[in-house]
Structure 1
Amino acid sequence: MPESASKRFVEQVGAWRVSGRRRIPDRAAAPDVPPAEAPLVVALHGGTYTSAYFDLPGFSLLDRAAAAGIPIVALDRPCYGETTPLDPGTETIRNSAERLDAIIAGLVAQSAEPERKIVLLGHSIGAAIALAIAARQPSWRLIGVAVSGMCLESPPEAGAAWSALPETTMVELPPALKDAVMFGPDHTFDPPMPGLGHHADAPVPRAELIDIVMGWPDIAGDVLGDVRVPVYYRLGEFDRLWVTDAEQVARFAAALSTAPRVDAALMRGVGHCIDFHRLGAEFQAGQIDFALGCGAATSDSA
């Protein structure tokens, strides 16, 4: 696989180690984007993937963000990469949100721009965690949240399937099973997918899988109701991990009752991992435009 222009990092933040990938903006490619209007995007991957999810050749959100003049950091969540794990069995959405809130605060404090505006971006379980972080009203300067690959209800069979997983702390999904749930029909993606996507594969905490299916529906209303920044939300038409229809998207948007602005839609022609489908570039462009819009809207108070 070609080497990425992003930089891998491992840093100590207080008592925790955190790893991930960084990509600095290409100012020559985006001279019309004032630095004050370019927020830092912090991306959180979903279950069974590392931060490499956002940086695969030809599908890299990191590359596209940098070309648009946006700095971006994709973090390995706790229990992934070299990031300090949570205690076995405690890998829930709320616990992950608490830890990552503190990690991001530490990274910001250690940076050269401690007042930098931040847009959180999350996929799947990472999306639920991003929203839970936003609901905590973090001390750092959060100005928006872009999420995908999650909703309010899983199909009825999902709970039984995850409960039947091996009684181990970490679970590794077989590639064929993973492809079946992460992608839409064959006509929605091109080679080198789905094979290339496996370069970002990682074992997933069993407790995390159980919590997104069994725990998230119980806390979703409270979490979404406490998000007080603009939200950009997309759910794939062929997402096999969630109940996907216009009514679900409308309910999700309505639950974001204190968010000042919500852009929510069901995206046709894509599966769970929207980034890896034919329309992935269009999807990522929407996320980037959202981040830039959030930055521009707050530039007067920068």
Structure 2
Amino acid sequence: MNTNLPDATRNTSLFGGLSGRFRKPAAPLQPKTPLVVAIHGGTYTSAYFDVPGASLLDRAEANGIPIVAPDRPGYVDSAMLPGAEGTIGGQATALTHALHDAWTHFGEGTCGMVLIGHSIGGAIAATIASDPRGLPLIGLAVSGVGMLTPPEHQPMWEALPDLPIVEIPAEAKAGFMFGPEGSFDPGMPALSTKVAGTGAPRAELVDIVSTWSARAPSVLGRITVPVHYRQAEIDHLWICGRRQVDDFAHALSAAARVDAAMVAGTGHCMDFHHVGRSLQLQQLAFALQCAAQAPPR
């Protein structure tokens, strides 16, 4: 069943006031199946996970896994958070409340929740996992997020127009989001922008470059569930390298287990690159593994 909530219904109470997408396999769920929650990054809506040819929602459905992809506050029909609450921490708090509703509505027949987060959505997902507040969390998979941003990015983002929502020009956005020529289909930058691109709340763009690096070690250190981490080798939004991947993994000192690796020759939005299918299948396999090993509820 393909349920794209913003189009099919305006009943955003299913997500605690957030719009979004939900996909559930038509066949009965197998035992030990997780509910996957996909949290998008900045300048993309929940449709980031549903771009034709790069759809995590399609792959989850094909593998018998129900999946929820909310629009974060400030995106599509999800109300903007007040200024000071539009940070990574504020978004995490709002989403935690919404995901309790999502679990009530969509969790039936599943054994727990696995978060998949990309970019700013990865930082938010990690923050939720560090303090899940009663969510039935059994795993976390993140990509496109590191611990250190290039030093020149903070003044660049802080110089953005003082508006609640900031639009990034398409050419500049493609330069940030995509890797080298040949690592993605030439039509994907335009397609992904058409399907999922949008403006982003200024507060989260500034926060990810101004406070995340200082907070990341303590956030990661409080996560106890298993973690799957992938970082693109050629990611223009983060300082990247094997050392940085190792540092990220080391910071996850309390996690039940950590699978961390750098992905060679690809860019920030790995889902939209040729490695995207591999990444998404790995994330879904990780979710199934977390479900298989989850204690009875």
Normalised TM-score (structure 1): 0.92
Match of 1:44 in 2: 39
With over 3 angstroms needed to count, the CA separation of the structure-2 counterparts of 1:170 and 1:291, relative to structure 1, is same
Match of 2:277 in 1: 281
Q: 2 CA distance for matches of 1:105 and 1:213?
A: 29
Match of 2:134 in 1: 139
Note if contact 2:72-2:95 (Cα within 8 Å) is conserved in structure 1.
yes
With over 3 angstroms needed to count, the CA separation of the structure-2 counterparts of 1:114 and 1:5, relative to structure 1, is closer
Note if contact 2:15-2:70 (Cα within 8 Å) is conserved in structure 1.
no
Q: 1 CA distance for matches of 2:283 and 2:95?
A: 21
1:159 aligns to 2:147 (yes or no) = no
> Aligned with 2:60: secondary structure?
helix
With over 3 angstroms needed to count, the CA separation of the structure-2 counterparts of 1:294 and 1:16, relative to structure 1, is closer
Q: How many residues align?
A: 293
Following superposition, the deviation at residue 112 of structure 1 comes to: 6.5
Indicate the percent of aligned positions where both proteins have the same amino acid: 47
Match of 2:108 in 1: 113
Following superposition, the deviation at residue 116 of structure 1 comes to: 4.3
Match of 2:233 in 1: 237
**RMSD value, Cα:** 1.9
Note if contact 2:33-2:288 (Cα within 8 Å) is conserved in structure 1.
yes
1:191 aligns to 2:204 (yes or no) = no
Normalised TM-score (structure 2): 0.93
Q: 1 CA distance for matches of 2:54 and 2:190?
A: 13
With over 3 angstroms needed to count, the CA separation of the structure-2 counterparts of 1:253 and 1:172, relative to structure 1, is same
With over 3 angstroms needed to count, the CA separation of the structure-2 counterparts of 1:62 and 1:290, relative to structure 1, is same
AA aligned to 2:21 is R
Q: 2 CA distance for matches of 1:123 and 1:225?
A: 19
CA offsets 1:200-237 (integer angstroms, 9 cap, x no match): 01111111101001110111111101101000000001
Following superposition, the deviation at residue 111 of structure 1 comes to: 4.6
CA offsets 1:160-214 (integer angstroms, 9 cap, x no match): 2111111111100000000000000111111321111102011111111010011
1:66 aligns to 2:50 (yes or no) = no
Note if contact 1:39-1:116 (Cα within 8 Å) is conserved in structure 2.
yes
With over 3 angstroms needed to count, the CA separation of the structure-2 counterparts of 1:79 and 1:236, relative to structure 1, is same
Match of 1:11 in 2: 11
AA aligned to 2:82 is D
Q: 2 CA distance for matches of 1:15 and 1:201?
A: 21
More displaced, 106-115 or 255-264?
Answer: 106-115
Q: 1 CA distance for matches of 2:36 and 2:137?
A: 10
With over 3 angstroms needed to count, the CA separation of the structure-2 counterparts of 1:135 and 1:112, relative to structure 1, is closer
Q: 2 CA distance for matches of 1:192 and 1:115?
A: 37
Q: 2 CA distance for matches of 1:224 and 1:232?
A: 12
Matches for 1:99-110 after TM superposition, within 5 Å: 99-110=94-105
Match of 1:21 in 2: 21
With over 3 angstroms needed to count, the CA separation of the structure-2 counterparts of 1:267 and 1:128, relative to structure 1, is same
Match of 1:259 in 2: 255
With over 3 angstroms needed to count, the CA separation of the structure-2 counterparts of 1:55 and 1:111, relative to structure 1, is closer
Q: 2 CA distance for matches of 1:24 and 1:113?
A: 11
More displaced, 39-48 or 113-122?
Answer: 113-122
> Aligned with 2:205: secondary structure?
helix
With over 3 angstroms needed to count, the CA separation of the structure-2 counterparts of 1:11 and 1:152, relative to structure 1, is same
AA aligned to 1:25 is P
